[in-house]
Amino acid sequence: MSHSNEGKEATKLTSFVSSNFIRDIMLEDIKNNKNGGKIHTRFPPEPNGYLHIGHLMALVADFGLAEEFGGLCNLRFDDTNPEAEEQEYVDKIIEDIHWMGYDYEDRLYFASDYFQQLYEFAEQLILDGKAFVCDLTFDEMREYRGTLTEPGKESPYRNRSKEESLDLFRRMRLGEFPEGTHTLRAIIDMKSGNLNMRDPVIYRIKYAPHHRTGTDWPIYPMYDYQHPLSDAIEGITHSMCSLEYADHNELYQWFINNVKWQKHPDDPIPIQYEWSRLNVTGTVMSKRRLRRLVEEGYVDSWDDPRMPTMCGLRRRGYTPASLKDFIGRVGISRSPKIVDAALLEHCIREELNSTAHRTMAVLRPLKITLTNYPEGQTEYLEIENNPEDPCAGDRSVPFSRELYIEQEDFMENPPRKFFRLRPGGEIRLKGAYIIRCDEVVKDEEGNVVELLCSYDPETKSGSPQAGRRVRGTSHWVSAQHAATATVKLYDHLFTKDNPEDAEEGKDFTDYVNPESLEVLENCKIEPRLAEAQPGERFQFLRQGYFYVDHVDFAEGKLVFNRTVGLRDTWARMNR
């Protein structure tokens, strides 16, 4: 991927800024030389959907903390449910991880890589009297499990002989039984207050073909069994996950303690740590809801720039560095969090303010003619690319008699504090001259179609006499030299901070912002922008940061997606 350099660069620049309890634990472990002072994490997505902003915490923490302590992070797909998982998602997830600049080197693993090993562990568990084959039906098992407040009952098959269980388990593996007729269950405690400990199922029969192992296996291990053992096999030291798995930690430890997985006495014993999930205002995260947005046409695709998916964020123009910065600022904790999307926007604005080149694009053009400027003349003005970065240099921008300015930079009857152009008033054209509006040209319906202006040759930017001041400055493009482009103005997808908190009779789709996308087809852009390459980011002066859509570009279209607008105190004053 051409984007991987972007991510790697970002990795060097950014690390966590805030402290967090996981880091404290790692620091302590390193100090005590636990596991030889090594940190080894893993990022364990299930390939059943696209990575989205809710996964960002785990992604950045798993890879970022390992990186910070000179450790390693494996990429391991949790692919033990063939009904849900697809190769397509594996590929998309890998693409997103590469884009973020994270490197798992040759450590790309799949839980399915361990199916044979896990199977052997399971046989041993049976031999040790710690697991049995259960013939209870799905409904019976639910009944035997008890409830949150009542203890469960032991399965009548719990005490059958090891030999019988082993025989049955082997025949399960041979594919002799239909789905749903048998399970392998751990023998733990049906009375436990923790439902996960009530003789949990560790293998079930499934004949669905697996995206990697095909039809090799008629039985599949459950997450709770597979995950700790996969961690153990890989030598993971710190196994991090979100808080809804806290109840599973006891089971995690049970498998670590009861399966003979250790090859050497100093193989690290993995420990699970949990943190609270990341939520962001104005988004939905669940796969089901995201799918509805796509399928019901609220957005165009999974990578629509309004989607909170990683691929959507990328098309919106977010950078890996800004995303890492965001996670660093949010921090890792165990308290529930719904982070203000404004923080995410701040992170990308801050980065782009220092890196994005300034350009001029007139989104809604209003023609002006400088009546005292020589016809046919073009002068090239040197304008700085980025006032925040002197090294960014200057570029030449053509200036001529006929120009476009923004429609909203002119008002015939302006209110107080409107510092832009009005009849008889003056503004500076950025990097050029001060102009005065002499005459307003209207069509038959009274719409303003053109302004006749005059320029003051004494006020050329950079010249000694340029000192005269006017309050307003506008961006502009030369009509003759401008190219036309499509600009997509994106805004928040929802009108509500928490779209899921719907009123009676409504659901989250009722809060989709009808103005979340405005497509402008007739934007006039300066010559530099006509040469823009996919993946480039610019500031459109006074308007915002824009990303050259790499997807549209591949289809032959030059489209600028608004990543985020500039802070706009004028707009705020008018709210």
Active site residues: 46, 277, 287
Under 8 Å between Cβ of 299 and 293: yes
Q: Minimum Å distance from CB 105 to RNA? A: 23
Number of C-beta neighbours around residue 471 at 10 A? 12
Q: Quick one: tokens of 280?
A: 């962001």
Among 2, 32, 148, 445, binds RNA (CB under 7 A): 148
Chosen residue from 141, 321, 548, 558 binding RNA by CB under 7 A: 141
CA dihedral 338, 44, 262, 184 (to 10 degrees): 100
For residue 266, which phi and psi values (nearest 5 degrees)?
-100, 15
Helix (H) or strand (E) holding 252: helix 249-258
Q: Among candidates 410, 464, 456, which has minimal Cα distance to 432?
A: 456
Select from 472, 470, 362, 452 the least CA-distant residue to 402. 452
Helix, strand, coil percentages (3-state) for the chain, rounded to 5, are: 35, 25, 40
Q: What is the DSSP letter of 365?
A: E
**Structure-token pair, residue 238:** 């710190």
Q: Which is nearer to RNA, 296 or 350 (CB)?
A: 350
Using the contact rule CB under 7 A, the part of the chain among 6-14, 55-63, 383-391, 527-535 near RNA is 383-391
Between 546 and 565, how does the x/- string for binding to RNA read (CB under 7 A)?
Answer: --------------------
Please choose, out of 61-69, 300-308, 350-358, 449-457, the segment that lies near RNA by the rule CB under 7 A.
350-358
Residue 38 touching RNA (CB under 7 A): no
Residue nearer to RNA on the CB measure, 147 or 161: 147
Does the footprint of RNA cover residue 333 (CB under 7 A)?
A: yes
Q: Which stretch binds RNA (CB under 7 A): 161-169, 204-212, 481-489, 530-538?
A: 204-212
CB of 24 to RNA, least distance (A): 7
The 10 Å Cβ neighbour count of residue 376 is 8
| Site membership for RNA, residue 63 (CB under 7 A) | no
Shortest distance, CB of residue 444 to RNA, whole angstroms?
A: 29
Instruction: Tell me which amino acid residue 529 is.
Output: L
Residue 343 engages RNA in binding (rule: CB under 7 A): yes
Helix (H) or strand (E) holding 399: strand 394-399
Task: Looking at residues 453 to 492 of the shown chain, list those that interact with RNA (rule: CB under 7 A).
Answer: 459-462, 466, 469, 472-475
| Under rule CB under 7 A, residue 115 binds RNA | no
Q: Beta partners for 74?
A: 42
Strand 271-275 versus strand 238-242 pairing type? parallel
What distance in Å separates the CA atoms of residue 560 and residue 58, rounded to the nearest whole number?
31
| Least distance to RNA, CB of residue 526, Å | 14
How many H helices and E strands in the chain?
16, 27
The token pair that represents 351 in the structure block: 């980065």
Q: Nearest approach, Cβ of 557 to RNA (angstroms)?
A: 26
Q: Which stretch binds RNA (CB under 7 A): 13-21, 262-270, 372-380, 525-533?
A: 13-21
Task: Return d(Cα 564, Cα 317) in angstroms, integer.
Answer: 9
d(CA 368, CA 373): 12
CB-nearer residue toward RNA: 121 or 298: 121
Interface residue with RNA among 6, 29, 62, 78 (CB under 7 A) is 78
Q: What does the alpha-carbon distance between residue 142 and residue 136 come to, in Å, rounded to a whole number?
A: 9
Q: Are residues 279 and 339 in contact, defined by beta-carbon separation less than 8 angstroms?
A: yes
Distance of alpha carbon 243 from alpha carbon 334, whole angstroms: 7
**Beta carbon nearer to RNA, 299 or 473:** 473
Give the binding range for RNA (CB under 7 A) out of 137-145, 310-318, 367-375, 481-489. Answer: 137-145
419 is a contact residue toward RNA (CB under 7 A): yes
With CB under 7 A as the contact rule, the residue among 38, 289, 430, 496 that binds RNA is 430
> Which position among 431, 435, 485, 560 is part of the footprint of RNA (CB under 7 A)?
431
Tell me whether residue 299 or residue 397 sits nearer to RNA (CB atom): 397
Cβ 556 to RNA, closest distance in Å? Answer: 30
341: left (phi over 0), alpha (psi -120 to 50) or beta: alpha
Nearer to RNA, 185 or 316 (CB): 185
Report which residue type is found at 139.
Answer: D
Site string for RNA, 207-246 (x = CB under 7 A): -------------x-xxx-xx---------------xxxx
Does residue number 14 form part of the binding site for RNA (CB under 7 A)? no
Nearest-approach distance from CB 297 to RNA, in angstroms = 26
Query: Which has the closest alpha carbon to 275: 316, 225, 336?
Result: 336
CB of 205 to RNA, least distance (A): 6
84 binds RNA (CB under 7 A): yes
Is 253 or 276 the residue whose CB approaches RNA more closely? 276
- Count the residues of the shown chain that bind RNA, applying the rule CB under 7 A: 96
Residues 358-377 that bind RNA (CB under 7 A): 358
- Least CB distance from residue 34 to RNA, whole Å? 19
The answer to the question of residue 195 lying near RNA (CB under 7 A) is yes
The three-state DSSP-derived secondary structure of 303-359 is: CCCCCCEHHHHHHHCCCHHHHHHHHHHHCCCCCCEEECHHHHHHHHHHHHHHHCEEE
User: Binding of RNA at residue 450 (CB under 7 A)?
Assistant: no
- Mark the segment that binds RNA (CB under 7 A) among 261-269, 307-315, 392-400, 538-546: 538-546
Residues 246-305 touching RNA, rule: CB under 7 A, are 246-248, 276
Q: Which of 145, 315, 324, 401 binds RNA (CB under 7 A)?
A: 145
Q: What are phi and psi of 152, to 5 degrees?
A: -90, 175
Asked if residue 496 binds RNA (CB under 7 A), the reply is no
